[in-house]
Structure 1
Amino acid sequence: MLSMGGDQVDEAVAYAANVLRPAAGLDWSVKAGGLDWNCLETVEHFAGCLVAYSGQLTGRATDTWVPFEVILDEGSGPGDAISVIESTGGLLSAVVRTAPPGVRAFHPYPHGSADATGFAAMGVAELLLHTYDIAQALGVDAEPPAALCEAVLAWLFPHVMPPTAPDAQWATLLWATGRGTLPGRARLERWRWHNLMEIPAARVALREVSPAAAADLAAGGTGGLTWIEGGPFDGTRRAAEGVTKAYASGVHRPGWGLFALVRREDEVAVGGMGFHGAPDEDGVAEVGYDLAVAARGQGYASEALAALSTWALDRPEVSSLLAVISPENAASQAVVSRAGYVRASDREGLRAYVRGGEAA
């Protein structure tokens, strides 16, 4: 699994320091890369981001930024700036390691919050990209470890087709952030990363599964989750395989893949739920789900499906939702009925249920 956490933040900090320390004797008053800041101001910016991410997580901020920033002392030079990078990066890695499972805090992009993994990934991205901006201005070589680039892409850019060439992770990350070009892809003038979302239900939370976690689930792993006995069930692993294939082919759309159903009381995953893909040209999205056997019969699926369906039907591109169930699966038919779905015309011998309008 492409891990993302405190170890990756530490690796990115070490990379930044190793690249910039030999350039400490150069003129850091020049503009950094294509930015409006000079090199020292750029350090202030991304060191401030690292501290802000730490503050968001430790303060459990829910609806805004914790109001503070990092400013270098007057007269600080490049060597001091590098020390600040190491110190602020160390803060973030420590906070990420000690954040309790399930903790989220405010971040505006794109759903209003991020978890510890998301803040770690954003911190790594800040370190890699702004080190590149400074190095470019100073004429210093800067190419980070490919595994770090690959992890940032998988955790923050699930909407970006990953590279097919084994040595193109860094070039792809530069392209995804408007800093470079790739053959066959138009240069980006605007870009934004994607933090995995959480949709609350009554007793469970639906947590979006990243391409990195999906690949691990598809390969027989846990996806970084603690599972109830017997989980994840076969349907969840098949759905994870679908996410993995969609991401590799560049057609994965965040929000329209797989969610893990995680029980709030103990942070144990009990099943999977999600969509078979983005809404079609008629605005119809098909839902699917399964629970581990030990979690069945307790109402988790109905609660989660009601919450997921409400979220989906609030999207302007969705007209209706469809669930297709085998005739003998009475339990699943009861789940969709409790979640507000109504019977529609059968489809190839399977029972169809819709919510939000009549599916074609």
Structure 2
Amino acid sequence: MTNSGALGGDAAARTVTDAVSEAVAALRPAADRDWSAVRAGRVEWDCLRTAEHVVSDLFAYATQLVTRAPEEYRPVEYVLDPPDIGAEGALEAVEAGGAMLALACRTAPRSARGFHPAPFRGAGREGFAAMGVAEVLLHTHDMAEGLGIAYRPSAELCGYVLARIFPHIRQGEDPWRTLLWATGRGTLPGEEPVTGWGWYNNPLVEAERLTLEGLTVPAAADLALGGDGGFDWVAGGPFEGTREGAGLVVAAYDKGAFRPQWGSYVLVRREDDRAVGSMGFHGPPDEEGRVEIGYDLAVAARGQGYATEALRALTAWALAQEAVGTVTARVDPGNAASRNVLERAGFLRTGHLVDDGGMLVLERRGEAA
């Protein structure tokens, strides 16, 4: 993996300012030209309108994050004024938008979320940073292509965008080329051209006292290497099972096989934004509609019903997906506490009682299963 991406608000802010700085440096030599007369690469806009789009996105993302817009975009429009401000004015506006998004990322708390439709209806500070960086990188490419000037962003920025919001795609040896291919702007050997695309922010599943936050690739990489994944953990966390699950996320990502909604989720206590454990799937559903779930709780958080609460919520979410008919779990027959958690969450000992490894298999079926 080229770059797992630094964690936290300050790191997210730096990615935005670095992306804007590189873009403006590449485009400024062409600022004496009439950008309204030049089409921006393959997009339908001219270069001035494309720059305005970048400005709009940067300011809009900052607004969504700062105001924690819950269900839709705030009713605010961001445009260049006057419309014929020219290339130099447009670049100044891009710099201003970048500064505003960076400030929002730096000052927003870790738990802050704002509405964004793609695809799980929300994003946090690192998600908005990655989306902002993607807009800057990709549309600077479009403008540079139209203007006939050279532009190639740093591999670190491209790796950050891919790891954070394109986790379903393998980076490969050249993350910039991969990002262009993933967004319909280039080709990759052995891969079909991309005609429709989208990015992924991490999913959330709400429980009574907990928020289950889908583990991003950068956070998983940090956890697998012994870090905290950007979370404030209760005493004794993260436990070993959480780190193992994070390692599975990284391994799947490196193979191009990671699917964000079927990965690991960190269990975050809403009252104090502290992580108490993790829970997740061993991969996407199989052809029979079966998916396996596992969980891990820090010692200090045990005995308070968190595991049962989270298991009920994540299992219900899974069974609501069209591809899932049965959720299974394996437990050591001697682990009465874990078995009790499963049974309280509605799992039953049906079918195979014990697998080949001597583990007890329990399952919960959907209504149509």
Common topology (TM > 0.5): yes
Aligned pairs for 1:158-237 within 5 A: 158-163=167-172, 165=173, 168-237=174-243
Aligned to 1:66: 74
Letter in 2 for 1:13: V
Letter in 2 for 1:40: L
SS in 2 for 1:343: coil
Displacement of 1:357 in angstroms is 5.2
Displacement of 1:115 in angstroms is 1.1
CA offset digits 1:73-96 (Å, max 9, x no partner):
233010000000000110000011
Contact 2:331/2:359 (CA < 8 Å) preserved in 1? yes
Displaced runs of 4+ in structure 1, greater than 3 A?
none
- Distance in 1 between the 2:181 and 2:239 partners? 37
Are 1:2 and 2:9 an aligned pair?
Answer: no
Aligned to 1:338: 344
Contact 2:209/2:269 (CA < 8 Å) preserved in 1? yes
Are 1:47 and 2:55 an aligned pair?
Answer: yes
Aligned pairs for 1:81-120 within 5 A: 81-120=90-129
Letter in 2 for 1:151: Y
Which of residues 260, 270, 279 is equivalent to 2:276?
Answer: 270
Are 1:319 and 2:325 an aligned pair?
Answer: yes
SS in 2 for 1:206: strand
Displacement of 1:225 in angstroms is 1.1
Q: 5+ residue gaps in structure 1? A: none
- Distance in 2 between the 1:269 and 1:78 partners? 47
- Distance in 2 between the 1:9 and 1:39 partners? 21
Are 1:251 and 2:276 an aligned pair?
Answer: no
SS in 2 for 1:321: strand
Are 1:34 and 2:42 an aligned pair?
Answer: yes
Aligned to 2:85: 76
Aligned to 1:141: 150
Letter in 1 for 2:31: A
Between stretches 188-197 and 331-340, larger displacement belongs to 331-340
SS in 2 for 1:49: helix
Contact 1:228/1:270 (CA < 8 Å) preserved in 2? yes
Displacement of 1:238 in angstroms is 0.7
Contact 2:319/2:366 (CA < 8 Å) preserved in 1? no
Tell me how large the CA RMSD over aligned residues is.
1.5
Contact 1:72/1:81 (CA < 8 Å) preserved in 2? yes
Q: 5+ residue gaps in structure 2? A: none
- Distance in 2 between the 1:27 and 1:183 partners? 36
- Distance in 2 between the 1:117 and 1:2 partners? 10
SS in 2 for 1:22: helix
Contact 1:256/1:274 (CA < 8 Å) preserved in 2? yes
Displacement of 1:55 in angstroms is 1.1
- Give me the identity figure in percent: 50
- Distance in 1 between the 2:230 and 2:151 partners? 31
- Distance in 2 between the 1:128 and 1:289 partners? 38
CA offset digits 1:160-218 (Å, max 9, x no partner):
1121x2xx010011111111100011110000000111111111110011112111111
- Distance in 2 between the 1:120 and 1:232 partners? 26
- Distance in 1 between the 2:142 and 2:207 partners? 42
Displacement of 1:27 in angstroms is 3.1
Between stretches 298-307 and 338-347, larger displacement belongs to 338-347
Which of residues 275, 299, 310 is equivalent to 1:304?
Answer: 310
Contact 1:27/1:138 (CA < 8 Å) preserved in 2? no
Letter in 2 for 1:181: T
Contact 1:28/1:38 (CA < 8 Å) preserved in 2? yes
SS in 2 for 1:104: coil
Displacement of 1:235 in angstroms is 0.7
SS in 2 for 1:120: helix
CA offset digits 1:42-76 (Å, max 9, x no partner):
01111101111111112221111111222212330
Contact 2:41/2:142 (CA < 8 Å) preserved in 1? yes
TM-score, normalising length from structure 1?
0.97
- Distance in 2 between the 1:40 and 1:200 partners? 42
Letter in 1 for 2:24: A
CA offset digits 1:296-336 (Å, max 9, x no partner):
11111111111101111111000110001000111111111
- Distance in 1 between the 2:366 and 2:16 partners? 46
CA offset digits 1:242-284 (Å, max 9, x no partner):
1111110111111101111111111111111000000011010
- Distance in 1 between the 2:58 and 2:154 partners? 20
Contact 2:34/2:86 (CA < 8 Å) preserved in 1? no
Contact 2:62/2:101 (CA < 8 Å) preserved in 1? yes
Displacement of 1:356 in angstroms is 1.4
